[in-house]
Amino acid sequence: MKKAIIYIPNKNPMQSGLAKNNKWILEFKTQDPTKNPLMGWESSNDTLTELRLEFSSKELAINYANKKKIDYELIEPRKRKIVKKSYADNFIK
């Protein structure tokens, strides 16, 4: 049985904006990981791990997984704490 993860990827650390942060990703987990004896890298004969599907909403990703009979693990995004600061706070103590 295929297993997948549904999540929203983290934003790029080189960017401060939150644009394009609303796509849900469905990625398949590796079923038979093996270790390359020469380089020590993890590899697999399973080509589904190379597949990465993007969805505009969580419901679409879940519906797709249910329709294709894919077992999935849903990782909910954490809510970001926004602390409002003022420039004057740097000088008041």
- Quick one: DSSP state of residue 39? T
State mean pLDDT over 6-33: 83
Domain range for 2 is 1-8+46-79
Question: What gap in Å lies between CA 75 and CA 65, rounded to an integer?
Answer: 14
Within a domain: residue 65?
yes
* pLDDT surpassing 70 at residue 32: yes
78 contacts 10 by C-beta, under 8 angstroms: no
Domain count, the chain: 1
Within a domain: residue 90?
no
33: confidence class by pLDDT, cuts 50, 70, 90: confident
25 contacts 56 by C-beta, under 8 angstroms: no
Within a domain: residue 3?
yes
pTM (predicted TM-score): 0.74
1: confidence class by pLDDT, cuts 50, 70, 90: low
Within a domain: residue 85?
no
**pLDDT, tens digit (0-9, with 9 covering 90-100), for 74-91:** 999 888 788 888 888 888
Q: What is residue 23's predicted lDDT score, i.e. its pLDDT?
A: 92
